Amino acid sequence: MNILFTIIFIVVPAFIIAASTKIKLVEKIGIVLVCYILGMLVGNIGVLPESFTAAPEGGDSAVSLLQSVTICIALPLVLFSLDLSKWVKIAKKGMLCMGLACISIIIVTVCIHLVFNDYNAESSKYAAAAVSVYTGGTVNLGSIKLAIGMSENDYIIFNTYDAVISVLYIFFLSMVGQKFFRKFFKLRPYKSLDMDHGDATDTIDESAGAYRALIDPKNIKGLGFALLLSALIFGVSYGLNIMASKIDPGLGMTVMMLSITSISIALSFVKKIRSIKYTFQLGMYIIYIFCFSVAACADFKALINFNYVIFVYVGVSIVASLLIHAFLCKLAKIDTDTLIITSVSMVCSPPFVPAMAASLKNKEVLISGLATGVVGYAIGNYLGIAVNYLYALF
């Protein structure tokens, strides 16, 4: 049964891509958002078997394994096509934007903690979790739980709220984020880098024609090699993950993502690899599978009987920190796309960056988003632990 649903999840994006050529509404909304919408629908109508979504004791669910494998295979494919010289120019701006995001979430958690500290003894732990998760992404929640001693029940509730609200947050940014921040915060639009060595393949192409090229016999050999190389990078990085986890349980994911990103970028300097056609589209197709599976895990029933303190820490932290972040970016003269991609990389982690870049139709912010996300992995737990002890003092 799990194999059947895994196959269904893999082929769903193909039907969405095909539908985009026939249905104007699907084309207008975009493949990424349709994957999220259908994923949420499938995940909340009761068609997925518990064996597919529930994690066995001491392990991961089938859908979680699908998410992990797809994103780790997809990232190298996306990065192979990049010319790093185009993105080093915006690294400084991306890191500044990340710093402003960290300031924003700390401001918000301070305010929430001042409200709830007298009424909830666990407030400092929730604040620490929010700071850790929304500077380093959802994957940091497991390690910060161990570091601060968060109860298993609170961890499950926090994780559930985070999954549901994060999907809505991504949906909002993908649909209206650019227009919203330009209109209400007067953020400037992204200014494309003017590079002489750009070419026609150096744009995000979500057309059905670009994806049909993936099954063109003349492209199979090159894409097969790229896929094999991507799997090899994943294998090496997973090995480093295991080694790092033995040193520090919270270090494994940081090392793995840093390894995948670094090796893939290094290989993008090899012209023969960078010139393989349609690696970006293949990577994006696999990311669509990831997006569909993530959305399918958003359980909206969790919002009915909820813990209002944790809900505030999750919901208000995401929304309020985004608004403060936008205001600070306005003062710092940072553009809309950099704000959005940095926010997504920190709130949801680097795996969501390529999908958001596709929604923004801006491939140039990919490296900036991935870089800030990886740094967020590294500092998120340290900030969370520091916040927990600092807030507990007051």
Q: What is the pLDDT of residue 358?
A: 84
- Give yes or no for residue 198 having a pLDDT over 50: no
- Give yes or no for residue 156 having a pLDDT over 80: no
Instruction: Tell me the per-residue pLDDT of 301-351, one tens digit each, with 9 for 90 and over.
Output: 777 767 899 999 999 999 999 999 999 999 999 999 999 999 999 998 877
Instruction: Tell me the per-residue pLDDT of 199-253, one tens digit each, with 9 for 90 and over.
Output: 433 445 656 678 888 989 999 999 999 999 999 999 999 999 999 888 877 678 7
- Give yes or no for residue 137 having a pLDDT over 90: no
CATH class for the region spanning 2-52+62-191+205-392: mainly alpha
Instruction: Tell me the per-residue pLDDT of 12-41, one tens digit each, with 9 for 90 and over.
Output: 999 999 998 888 888 877 788 889 889 989
Q: What is the pLDDT of residue 347?
A: 92
- Give yes or no for residue 196 having a pLDDT over 60: no
Q: What is the pLDDT of residue 89?
A: 63
Q: What is the pLDDT of residue 250?
A: 62
pTM: 0.78
SS3 annotation, the chain: CHHHHHHHHHHHHHHHHHHHHHCHHHHHHCHHHHHHHHHHHHHHCCCCCHHHHCCCCCCCCHHHHHHHHHHHHHHHHHHHCCCHHHCHHHHHHHHHHHHHHHHHHHHHHHHHHHHHCCCCCCHHHHHHHHHHHHHHCCCHHHHHHHHHCCCHHHHHHHHHHHHHHHHHHHHHHHHHHHHHHHHHCCCCCCCCCCCCCCCCCCCCCCCHHHHHHHHCHHHHHHHHHHHHHHHHHHHHHHHHHHHHHHHCCCCHHHHHHHHHHHHHHHHHCCHHHHCCCCHHHHHHHHHHHHHHHHHHCCCHHHHCCCCHHHHHHHHHHHHHHHHHHHHHHHHHCCCHHHHHHHHHHHHCCHHHHHHHHHHHCCHHHHHHHHHHHHHHHHHHHHHHHHHHHHHHCC
Q: What is the pLDDT of residue 81?
A: 78
Instruction: Tell me the per-residue pLDDT of 57-94, one tens digit each, with 9 for 90 and over.
Output: 767 789 989 988 998 999 899 888 776 666 566 667 88
Q: What is the pLDDT of residue 225?
A: 97
